[in-house]
Amino acid sequence: MAVDEKIQQKIDFYFNVLDRYDHYIELADTKAGNHLTLLGTLLVAVTAVFSWGVIIPETGKHFVLGCNLQTGLIFLFLFFLVSCWYWYCICNSVLKPNTKPVKDDATAQQTNRATSTIFFGDVEEIKLDEFEKIVLDEMDEGKLLKDLVGQVHVVAHITKVKFENYSKINRAVLASVLVSILILVISGVLKLG
């Protein structure tokens, strides 16, 4: 069976587009993973600095809340923990996989979507012999191209959402780093006088 050259060129083109989107997704996931590593390191370091800066009187009592600097240090540390939690949640929103075969639920309801031979969720649900029959006997190049274009559309949406979520990370990083610098300075003042 001869494949129409124009259809084959489109199939090749859209597989390359899909591959390119996969690289973008991998890049966003790698960056988010690196941010989680940085977050963990910063969290441990700032917690150690905070502990170093909190003064415990010789009497054995816990820190004195009457001390303005010490109270400020405690509130800064709590704000730091909140900003780290926000940072963590954003990183996880980037890493969270999208396992929907269509862009959104409204699209799924509007279309009478055929089973995709590309989307892993659809492929996994089909028995092997049935999948082979669909791919080898029933799927022509036109149907393959339509399936491929649909998957390119979905993956483009996934890529866009990942990068939108990733762009939010910088606010959390900035807040966490600025607060950690303040914690370091105040802890130093409290400890060294």
Residue with tokens 């799927």: 139
Residues of the chain with pLDDT under 50: 59-62, 64-65, 110
Residue with tokens 């060294």: 192
DSSP, residue by residue, 23-74? HHHHHHHHHHHHHHHHHHHHHHHHHHHHHHHS---TTS----TT-HHHHHHH
Q: What confidence score (pLDDT) does residue 137 get?
A: 84
Q: What confidence score (pLDDT) does residue 90 get?
A: 95
Q: What confidence score (pLDDT) does residue 61 get?
A: 46
